[in-house]
Amino acid sequence: MDFALLRELQRDAGLSNVDLANRVHISAPTCLRRVKRLHESGLIERQVAILNPHILRASIGSSLIAITEVTLDRQETSTWEQFEKAVETETMVQQCYRVSPGPDFILVVHAAQMSDYLDLTQRLFTRNTNVRNVKAFFCIKRSKFGAELPLS
C-alpha cells in the first residue's frame, strides 16, 4: 500500500506529480503509475477542491450549516435505503451517515440561507410519512474541519 502517497494526497491533492514524487522520494513516472493504480482500484474515490465557507459567505452574502438528526418511523432496510436515495439527489446535503444508537441518520447540510434549508426540510422530511423526528443544530463557528483518514 502506498501510504506515503495517500498521506500527501489527503493533505493536498493539487500537488504536481513531480512535487508529489519528491515528497515521497520516488521517481515521477513511478509516482504517476502508483497514483493511477490507486484511482483505478477505487481507493482514491475522487479529488475535490474544499472551499472555505467563511470566505464564501463574505462573497455570496450568507451561508448556513446544519447538523441534522433524522429518525424514521419504520426501522427496515428498505426504508433506510429509500431515505438514502432521496438524500443523494440533494446538493445541500454534503454528508449523510446512518448511525446507531439514537437517530437513524445524521446529515451535514450547507444552505445559502434559512429559506433554502426550509425548502429542503419540506422535500426530505415533511413530505416523507416515514420521518418521525428531525432535530437540527445550526453551526455558529467551525472549530475544526478535516478530510484526512488516519493511515497506519
Buried b (16+ CB within 10 A) or exposed e, 21-41: bebbebeeeebeebbeebeee
Name the residue range of residue 132's domain: 53-138
Kindly write down the DSSP assignment for every residue of 46-65, as one continuous string: ---PPP-HHHHHHHHS--EE
In a domain, 58, yes or no: yes
Using CA atoms, how far apart are residues 72 and 104, in angstroms rounded to an integer?
7
CATH number of the domain residue 60 falls in: 3.30.70.920
pLDDT of residue 141: 87
pLDDT of residue 1: 62
> Could you report the per-residue pLDDT of 37-94, keeping only the tens digit for each?
999 999 999 998 888 877 877 777 678 899 999 999 998 999 999 999 999 999 999 9
Q: What is the mean pLDDT of residues 120-145?
A: 94
In a domain, 73, yes or no: yes
What pTM was estimated for this model as a whole? 0.82
Pairing of the two strands 93-98 and 64-72 = unpaired
Residues 60 and 82 placed together within one structural domain of the fold: yes
Residues 27 and 91 placed together within one structural domain of the fold: no
In a domain, 151, yes or no: no
Residues 116 and 95 placed together within one structural domain of the fold: yes
